[in-house]
Amino acid sequence: MSVLTDFVNIFSRREIGPYPASTLKKGHTIFSPDVYLVEFQGEPVVWKDYSKRPWLGRLWGRFVIAREGKALARLKNVKGVPEFRGFVERDGLLMKYCEGNLLPRRGAKKTLSPDFYSKCAALLEEIHAHGIAHGDIRRRNILADKEGNPVLIDFQTALRKEEWLGRFLFGIMCRTDKWNLVRIKAKSFAWALTEEEKELLASPPLFLRFGRFLRRGVYRKLFPKHT
């Protein structure tokens, strides 16, 4: 039985198709989705779509959108997390659009403050308390909304505490989430780091360093970006 049957809202592409869509991001590898902004059922929603990927990419997509859907459904009452709306057949996922700006690569001091990262840390704590580790905290997965509050997006690598892998790695993944957030904060507000944050930053998780080696040294060579 498909993991998607755990959810009530499974829409067909025909139901989504008539609505005008704008492209937020084109997938540049076989494992990355096309992402659209669509007006659907009276509200703007984000549509992650793997249907145009080769078969291996579609298989991967079905796996990760099921994980993301379960994580978002668990976090439906957490402010600062997109609201899950359902799936589009087997290759797509819908979530409520959260308006905001990605964290800038440079010049964060002009638009943000250390307090923003304190709010991010509090949001992470709440997510972890719901039994979810995000698994991919980085600059482009954090939005600042118009009120200056953080929004975390892209939960496709999220880990649930109760799943078999979570029994062994949940604590490590939560610590990695926190380490990544402190690393981002340190790039613009190193002077505002607490002693606890400095200690955390000084000891990056070993598997995170290994993962970066695999991503940069192996994955990008095996699966280069395509246009």
Q: Which two tokens stand for residue 204?
A: 């990056």
Q: Which two tokens stand for residue 39?
A: 């007006």
Q: Which two tokens stand for residue 47?
A: 């549509």
More confident residue, 67 or 214: 67
Domain 3-96: state its class. Answer: alpha beta
Per-residue pLDDT reduced to its tens digit, 11-61 = 998 888 766 679 999 998 999 999 999 999 889 999 999 999 999 999 999
Per-residue pLDDT reduced to its tens digit, 77-110 = 999 999 999 999 999 999 999 999 999 887 777 8
- How would residue 212 be classed by pLDDT, with cut points 50, 70 and 90? low
- Strand locations in 52-165 (E): 84-88, 92-96, 101-102, 132-133, 142-144, 150-152, 159-160
Sign of torsion, CA 52 56 62 67?
negative
Q: Which part of the chain is CATH 1.10.510.10?
A: 101-222
Within a 13 Å sphere around the CA of 169, how many CA atoms are in the beta-carbon half? 18
Q: Which part of the chain is CATH 3.30.200.20?
A: 3-96
* Distance of alpha carbon 114 from alpha carbon 31, whole angstroms: 34
Fold of 101-222: Transferase(Phosphotransferase); domain 1 (1.10.510)
- In the chain, count of helices (H) and strands (E)? 8, 11
- Helix ranges (DSSP H) in the chain: 13-16, 55-74, 108-111, 114-129, 166-189, 195-201, 206-214, 220-222
* Distance of alpha carbon 148 from alpha carbon 81, whole angstroms: 14
Per-residue pLDDT reduced to its tens digit, 136-186 = 999 999 999 999 999 999 999 999 999 988 888 999 999 999 999 999 999
Record the pTM. 0.85
- How would residue 2 be classed by pLDDT, with cut points 50, 70 and 90? very low
